[in-house]
Amino acid sequence: MSHVSTLDFLALLGCAIVFVTLFQRLGLGSVLGYLVAGLVIGPWGFGVLTEGEDLLHFAELGVVFLLFLIGIELKPARLWLMRKDVFGLGSAQVLVTGAVLGGIAWAFGVGTGAAVIIGFGLALSSTAIGLQILGDRGEFGRRHGRAAFGVLLLQDLAVVPLLALVSLLSPGQVAEGWGDVAARVLLAVVAIAFVIVGGRYVLKHLYRVVAGARNQEVFAALSLLIVLGVAFLMQAVGLSMAMGAFLAGLLLAESEFRHQVAADVEPFRGFLLGLFFMAVGMSVDLGAAASNWVIVLALVAGLLSVKALLLFGLGQLLGVGRDDSIRVAVLLCQGGEFGFVLFTLATQTRLLAPEVSQLLILVISLTMALTPLMVKLLPFLLPKQAERRMRALAPRPAEPQPSSGGHIIIAGYGRVGQTVVRMLEAAGVPYRALDMHAQRVEQARRQGQDVYYGDASRAEVLRAAGLDDARAVVVTLDQPEAAERATDAVKRLRPGLPVFARARDPVQVAELTRHGATGSVAEALESSLQLGAMMLRHMREMRPEEVQRLVETLRDDCATIGQNVPSPQGVGDGAPSVRASGAKPAYPAPQQQASRQGAGAA
């Protein structure tokens, strides 16, 4: 990256914006847009940027962040339910496909050691492209989505033995025997155990300490440190960085901090993954493809066909189902980015000739670029009725949480939020509360409440908390600006979702209503009205029905005051107000006398 200038980055951003927007408008997806943008701006396009290999090494961090976010959304219990896809279908795919492709290479005169590496290197699929397409189409929770993810996860686990295999088969590495390979595997197992134990007993406490300082920049820095630190540790012991990031995410999957962490990491994931796809596009050597187009075309077609047929057959054999096996076969029949690493290492150890390695890398790049187009052709491979059913199911959430169906999001878990939570628990309504006080969150979770650490005024945190599947949002934040930001975020992401908000005074009631709140209550209103009503009933100055009418009249008057206040200057906190859509009271007046405890809670 040392030769990439600011102007180069500007060109990258401009090209990405143009082509990704164009391809999404055409319904071809963002991945293909990034690939074409890289091809256009790269050495075989306009030649604006020629450092594709350096950019690719840097942009691989996008795959790292992607796997981390998948891990943080995938609880260990759910991963255990996928064990048949991971260790059954995944293991069978790597072994059978590697053996078949290696046998084909050997039959064409390639040496035994080189044929083995070629076979298993081409057996791997692109984690970045496969998972990005599943995410774009909302298919992680479908049968074929789980099967594809299981295969990709097993392929990442296969990194250690494949790297060791290169060392064993290389002519210059005869000194490294099975004892050295066993030592490598043992070191990787020890590193994984260290990360699991450290994450279980240290990670949450570390986050609580940092969250207690209430500095969002430091909290985000800690998240980046955890992701990159674990990823580089796994790389140091021979595992893939993506596997380490997935493990780190898995350790945080049941943490109260997972929504805030996911929101902090998401921007890095999107930007770097886009760069990764552009770097792949830049690495496509059109000159070599043109000069050897017959061989390249045969290899690309052969690789896609053989892998697709084997994936389809194994899926059928292991109970994935015909239609889902077709989807998995199309999604994973390309070569993978780890093949770049494996074939480069094999060249350095003189196991593969440089020209063979370059040809294989070109084939992998082309198959990766063709994958989004092949996915678009799925309707022609599937029965029309099945494909219509898939399109109807596509908008559903990819990986629904147990409590995410129709839940209520509580933005703020102070005294008002806690009262709302108790009411929802009494009514049996699922909820998910967010708060920025780490100790308060920890105490609530000890009591079995569904409360998480996170800034509820941020759109990314709300979405990570399940906004796309929420039934309503209750904003109880005590900072007016934060409450308005949260209301804006909800209305921007889901315009029709009901939002009920707490306000301080008439001005904020009117302001929240203008921001789209369905209903808003000034915090002093109900307590003051009920306190006055309680006093009048106790003194018997008025009949109960007259007191009730007075309360309703004052509530309506306060709503009118909130609408007519032009600016916050000169308005004291003691001027209560309430307003909901249609200038009606947000809540009906109580029909029974309020107790002292009830009035205080309001």
| Structure confidence at residue 390 (pLDDT) | 52
- Rounded mean pLDDT of 587-599? 35
The residue length of the chain stands at 602
pLDDT in tens, 446-482: 888 888 888 888 887 888 888 878 888 888 887 888 8
- Rounded mean pLDDT of 99-110? 90
pLDDT band at 119 (very low <50, low <70, confident <90, very high): very high
400 versus 130: which is more confidently predicted?
130
Question: Chain-centre distance of CA 272, in angstroms?
Answer: 14
- Rounded mean pLDDT of 545-562? 70
91 versus 526: which is more confidently predicted?
91
Cβ neighbour number for residue 264 with a 10 Å cutoff: 25
Token pair 């490598």: residue: 184
Does the pLDDT of residue 566 top 50, yes or no? no
- Rounded mean pLDDT of 205-214? 80
DSSP H/E element including 240: none
367 versus 160: which is more confidently predicted?
367
Cα–Cα distance for residue pair 271/267, rounded to 1 Å? 6
Does the pLDDT of residue 563 top 90, yes or no? no
| Structure confidence at residue 588 (pLDDT) | 38
358 in Cβ contact with 343 (< 8 Å)? no
Does the pLDDT of residue 179 top 70, yes or no? no
Does the pLDDT of residue 368 top 50, yes or no? yes
Cα–Cα distance for residue pair 335/284, rounded to 1 Å? 13
Query: Could you tell me what percent of the chain has a pLDDT over 90?
Result: 7
234 in Cβ contact with 241 (< 8 Å)? yes
Calculate the alpha carbon distances from 85 to 90, 93, 332 in Å.
6, 10, 14
Cα–Cα distance for residue pair 363/339, rounded to 1 Å? 10
Judged by average pLDDT, the poorest of 46-60, 184-198, 227-241 is: 46-60
Q: Which domains does the chain have, with CATH numbers?
A: 6-393 (1.20.1530.20), 402-497 (3.40.50.720), 519-602 (no CATH)
Cα–Cα distance for residue pair 75/57, rounded to 1 Å? 30
Structure tokens at 488: 């804006």
- 326 closest CA partner among 142, 156, 155: 142
- 537 closest CA partner among 585, 587, 599, 594: 594
| Structure confidence at residue 383 (pLDDT) | 62
Long-range Cβ pairs for the range 111-118 (8 Å, 24+): 113/169, 113/170, 113/351, 114/169, 114/346, 114/351, 114/352, 114/356, 116/165, 116/169, 117/162, 117/165, 117/166, 117/169, 117/342, 117/343, 117/346, 117/351, 117/352, 118/343, 118/352, 118/360
Residue 151's contacts (CB-CB under 8 Å, 6 or more residues apart) are: 85, 86, 89, 90, 93, 125, 311, 328, 332
pLDDT in tens, 433-442: 888 888 888 8
Judged by average pLDDT, the poorest of 35-44, 168-177, 235-244, 359-368 is: 168-177
The half-sphere exposure of 525 on its side-chain side, counting CA atoms within 13 A, is 31
Token pair 């994958």: residue: 371
| Structure confidence at residue 181 (pLDDT) | 63
Does the pLDDT of residue 581 top 70, yes or no? no
Structure tokens at 153: 């996860």
Rg of the chain on CA atoms, in Å: 29
- Rounded mean pLDDT of 43-50? 71
Residue-averaged pLDDT of the chain: 76
The answer to pTM > 0.75 is no
324 in Cβ contact with 147 (< 8 Å)? yes
Does the pLDDT of residue 236 top 90, yes or no? no
pLDDT in tens, 488-541: 888 888 888 888 888 877 677 777 888 778 887 777 666 677 777 777 777 776
